[in-house]
Structure 1
Amino acid sequence: MDFRLSEEERAFVAEVTAFLDEEARHAEAHDFMAPDREADSMLADSPARRAFNKRMGARGYLGMSWDGVYGGSARPGIYEYLLNEELAGRGAPLIGKGVGCIGKTLIRHGSEKLKAEFLPQILSADVEFALGYSEPNAGSDLAALKLRATRADGGWVLDGQKTFTTSAHFADWYWVAARTDPNVPKHKGISVFLIPMDHPGLTIQEIKTMGDHRTNAVFFDNVEVGDDYLVGEVNKGWTYVCEALDFERFTFFTVNPIITKFRVLLDLLKRTERGGRCVVDDPLIAQQIGRLAADVEAAKMLQRRVIVAASKGDVPAVEAAMYKLFSTQLGQRIADFALDALGPQGLLSHGADGAPDDGKWEHSYRATILDTIGGGSSEVQKNIIARRGLGLPLN
């Protein structure tokens, strides 16, 4: 696979780099550029981060792969990949679920009304979305969801619960999967709706996670939704959800943070001594570093397969699943190795005296567990690879 960048692509990277260098001098850059944070750095969950996204929109960086008729510039998907990698390297908010999951799914399946209402807002970063998929008894088995959508005059009424909705406390709109037909096989009775997050029938409760990230439970009590906010066709939602998750993995799981994290750890270990000698001189430590270095290179190649598929106009389902599975587990392996190599000091948390990298590795150990769950658990990725990639039957 030839992944050398063209002259135009290299020029684009230079342009984005110059833009981010300029942004780094902004008074609030400490908020929207945070390379030492874990996955929460990608969210536009503060006024400064939303303002940064609006400046990206003004530069034409949002929706670059969309067709011109929808306000995009019809650039190949490689440009969104290059943008996201530069953003991820700075710890800045990524182009997000609005451009990928929501926008691209609306372009493929949404009504003209939904396209006209939401696509311009996505391009200008005037709207943030939350994804309403997981439920208390329907996490990895998403098709088992039970949030009920009942037919009503001119629309639907939704009752039930969602859980682990990460953006619910700051999003403007809710992209929700609900059961519209309980009498058909579970994959065939699901529909997708768009609901304003300030709907009086929604109640949001915070869920604290072991990685210090906030997520939420959302309760639906007689939430009325008009037919014009149904996405695509009734009972075709499973297809839309799967496509949206594929776009989410493509958009969110960049490789630059893994590369950066590995380099930061290697630099730290070169400065760490134990028993009068540098820890990297230990043959066992050196062997483990070599294995992780090879894994980082493998992650880069898997991510590039995702980009190649997306740039051809395909939905990178299997490629995204392979990369998501491998990269998130690699993140865990790097964090595990960091604590082993650093010894007891590695367990010190942020603010503790003598904590290596101010507790980065203790936090990473907790936070990377969540990465293997969000966007579809590792078990889900294995099923996608088995069924779609290898053609294996369901049990």
Structure 2
Amino acid sequence: MDFSRVELSAEDADFRDRVRKFLDTHVTDDVRRRDRETGDNFDEGVHLAMGAEGWLAAELDTGADGGMTRVQRRIWDLERRRVHVPWVTWGTTVIVAKSVEQFGSPELREEVLPRVRSGAVRLCLGYTEPDGGSDIATSKTRAVRDGNQWIINGAKMFTTGAHNCQYVFLITNTAPEARKHKSLTMFLVPLDTPGIEIQGIRTVDGDRTNIVYYTDVRIDDKYRLGEVNDGWRVLMEPLSTEHGIVDMAADGLQDVSIMIHQGTIMATSADRATAIAARRGPDGRRLLDDGSVAYRLGRSIARMEAALSTPNMFGRVAIAQAMRDISPDLMDILGPASVLPIGAEGAADDGGAEYIYRWAPLCGIYGGTLEVFRNLIAQHVLGLGRPHYAPPKAV
């Protein structure tokens, strides 16, 4: 929703102004530059300032509990995107905090949740394994009980934000002989525990993620979430949230799909390319005067608009696929200078098309590959059978 076209109440207009003042003060050009250089999608100074001024607590609470109203939450979401707040680590923190609230012991909730609200504690996701693919239920990371403690051994891949977090929401195998969905137990593991090693990995789009090794990591049973071997139930809600499999609210104030942030950046890049194509060169001609350019640009924008309007889990597939489809066309239209990255002298559109070209493959594997989501849609929405990958039998 574009709130520039909505007449806000005096209370909501004041809220918007306070949000803008806070963000413009703390999310500076230096913050955005540092985020591009590190690829962290996190800035501790900004995060702690949000905690100190109550913005994080307001995110976690409903309007009835003293948090943001639905309209205010929508304003907040749009304004932080406007200034490009480094946000990924808070996103994972919110997902995990809800599970801690629901499944954690009173002792664990008291240890973690107040410091989540202040910004001192951040939480990340320990799902995928180096050779596990998207089927996280096949976890081979083992947790073995030893009295009132557990000993964990294994490795997790793509644990984004681990180097800026204090705990990891870790899926482990505690019953190797059981069926895969009955063999899992979830833990909230302190990342400063001896035996944990975090190694950074840079992705092609410049972001940093991590591989995390667990070697004889010993934790108390109080860090277990839910019952032993019932981890799949603990995991269901956060996994559905990450996948975007959530019901739409009746008021229409939530994102159309979970990938709308990435889609908005794609739209900004397309807008810049369109403005450049409509600009007259020294000879008075525009790129748009070439019919093939106008056709390809129009086709790209139509694909993008359709993707941005696609809801729920379907939207995450449509947006990621649209990024893959249109970014090469945008770069080709803009010419050789489009390969220069953000901040480079002479970049055609300040590196926008080049960035989404590199980002598109990553968006197609966030939370699971596009193929996984297409299979989910086929099975659970269209009622088709499960895919069968076994080689054909020899005749």
Tell whether 2:58 aligns with 1:61: yes
Aligned length: 371
What corresponds to 1:149 in structure 2? 143
Aligned amino acid, residue 93 of structure 1: P
Q: 2:86 aligns with which of 79, 82, 93?
A: 93
What corresponds to 2:247 in structure 1? none
Q: 2:45 aligns with which of 44, 48, 55?
A: 48
Q: Retained in 2: the 8 A contact 1:191–1:231?
A: yes
CA distance in 2, matches of 1:54, 1:355: 37
Quickly say closer, same or farther: Cα 1:133–1:336, change in 2 above 3 A.
same
Gaps of 5+ in 1: 306-318
Quickly say closer, same or farther: Cα 1:205–1:267, change in 2 above 3 A.
same
Deviation per CA, 1:173-192, whole angstroms, max 9, x where unpaired? 11111111111221221121
Quickly say closer, same or farther: Cα 1:193–1:24, change in 2 above 3 A.
closer
Deviation at 1:377, TM superposition (A): 1.7
Give 1 or 2 for the bigger CA radius of gyration: 2
What corresponds to 2:119 in structure 1? 125
Quickly say closer, same or farther: Cα 1:287–1:254, change in 2 above 3 A.
same
Q: Retained in 1: the 8 A contact 2:273–2:334?
A: no
Deviation at 1:273, TM superposition (A): 4.7
Identity %: 31
Gaps of 5+ in 2: 245-254, 388-395
Tell whether 2:279 aligns with 1:271: yes
Tell whether 2:166 aligns with 1:176: no
Aligned amino acid, residue 286 of structure 2: C
What corresponds to 1:18 in structure 2? 17
Quickly say closer, same or farther: Cα 1:385–1:113, change in 2 above 3 A.
farther
Quickly say closer, same or farther: Cα 1:17–1:279, change in 2 above 3 A.
farther
Q: Retained in 1: the 8 A contact 2:160–2:209?
A: yes
Q: 1:368 aligns with which of 357, 360, 384?
A: 360
Quickly say closer, same or farther: Cα 1:124–1:183, change in 2 above 3 A.
same
Aligned amino acid, residue 189 of structure 1: S
CA distance in 2, matches of 1:79, 1:39: 31
What corresponds to 2:316 in structure 1? 324
129-138 or 350-359, larger mean C-alpha shift: 350-359
Aligned amino acid, residue 314 of structure 2: M
Deviation at 1:58, TM superposition (A): 4.3
CA distance in 2, matches of 1:155, 1:66: 39
Deviation at 1:59, TM superposition (A): 7.3
CA distance in 1, matches of 2:271, 2:37: 15
Q: Note the 1:224-373 alignment, pairs <5 A.
A: 224-250=218-244, 253-255=259-261, 256-271=264-279, 273=281, 277-302=285-310, 305=311, 319=312, 321-350=313-342, 352-373=344-365
CA distance in 2, matches of 1:203, 1:34: 28
SS of structure 2 residue aligned to 1:166: coil
Deviation per CA, 1:53-104, whole angstroms, max 9, x where unpaired? 3256347532134873xxx64855x754543233122211338335531122
Deviation at 1:378, TM superposition (A): 1.2
Q: Retained in 2: the 8 A contact 1:84–1:94?
A: no
Q: Note the 1:376-391 alignment, pairs <5 A.
A: 376-391=368-383
Q: Say which structure, 1 or 2, has more relative contact order (CA 8 Å, 6+ apart).
A: 1
Aligned amino acid, residue 276 of structure 2: L
Q: Retained in 1: the 8 A contact 2:48–2:120?
A: no
Deviation per CA, 1:151-189, whole angstroms, max 9, x where unpaired? 111131110111111211111111111111111221221
SS of structure 2 residue aligned to 1:26: helix
Deviation per CA, 1:96-119, whole angstroms, max 9, x where unpaired? 335531122333433333333333
Quickly say closer, same or farther: Cα 1:193–1:30, change in 2 above 3 A.
same
Deviation at 1:231, TM superposition (A): 1.1
Quickly say closer, same or farther: Cα 1:88–1:212, change in 2 above 3 A.
same
CA distance in 2, matches of 1:197, 1:292: 44
169-178 or 104-113, larger mean C-alpha shift: 104-113
CA distance in 2, matches of 1:188, 1:232: 13
What corresponds to 1:83 in structure 2? 76
